[in-house]
Chain A
């Protein structure tokens, strides 16, 4: 990295420090033997606005791996998503995310 870009980098670090407490949260949806695969796909498509392919991929991950991190963002946003998922009857929890994914 060239020295001349250093001030630019410094400023970016400061910005990310300011917003970082809000970023690393995720919404986990858990598998259960009751919710229909079609219904879970429908919820992911209609509530999150995910494409059919993305919704199917996340749904399969819930089904085969037992859980999937389906959304990332601020704590407040993930909590609102969790309440919405409970409204649909899906079991969702919020947690501080590790590395994304």
Chain B
């Protein structure tokens, strides 16, 4: 069983079992595949340099839309313009965090500095957003219901399995963020 993260002088440390690392590696890699752009970077070198992407469109997969949401409410044209300017670098930033977290899975003991911890927290959060979309978590009640599934013997269908995975990743992220908050408080 994974140990909760703890903040110390050498950074934030945690411990994951081999099966847990395999699971996380698979989850990170799934989200990376979702986020990899369909089209190559723009051929216009200036457009590529500033990350401009005129071919971008609103994601049809609701889970991907949750990772890359609209930035202007009730204004599709303004949101699309924002996407053209920012979506490619948003995808790249998220993929970077997921890859960094994945690399950290090489050993069973995790030792994270502030930057690595931030990447981990972002990566775990993106995993949870996608799982929550697949599990149809729309309200606090939905979230509570998923939270009740705690026993791995209950894993009899896809939804109960996804619920267990979601709860594990939630526990891991909460434990990591608590350690990060206590590191921040220590600096003040």
Contact = CB atoms under 8 A, between A and B. Distances in A.
A87 B122 contact: yes
A82 B185 CA distance: 25
Contacts of A83: 71, 82, 86, 89-90
| B interface residue count range (under 10 / 10 to 19 / 20 to 34 / 35 or more) | 35 or more
A28 B67 CA distance: 17
B181 A38 contact: yes
A87 B93 contact: yes
Contact of B181 (A35, A42, A87, A95): A42
Interface residues of A, number: 24
Interface stretch (B36-44, B52-60, B125-133, B157-165): B125-133
Contacts of B68: 86
Contacts of B140: 33
Contacts of A82: 71, 82
Interface of B, secondary structure class, is helix
A91 B122 CA distance: 13
Contacts of B70: 93
Contacts, number: 78
A95 B184 contact: no
Interface string B92-135: 01100000000000000000000000100110011011001000
Interface of A: 28, 33-36, 38-39, 41-42, 45-46, 52, 79, 82-83, 86-89, 91-95
Interface of B: 66-73, 82, 86, 89-90, 93-94, 118, 121-122, 125-126, 128-129, 132, 137-140, 142-143, 170, 173-174, 177-178, 180-181, 184-185, 188
Given A42-B121, A95-B72, 19 more contacts: A33-B140, A33-B142, A34-B128, A35-B125, A36-B173, A36-B177, A38-B174, A39-B125, A42-B181, A52-B185, A79-B86, A83-B90, A86-B71, A87-B90, A87-B93, A87-B94, A91-B66, A93-B72, A94-B72
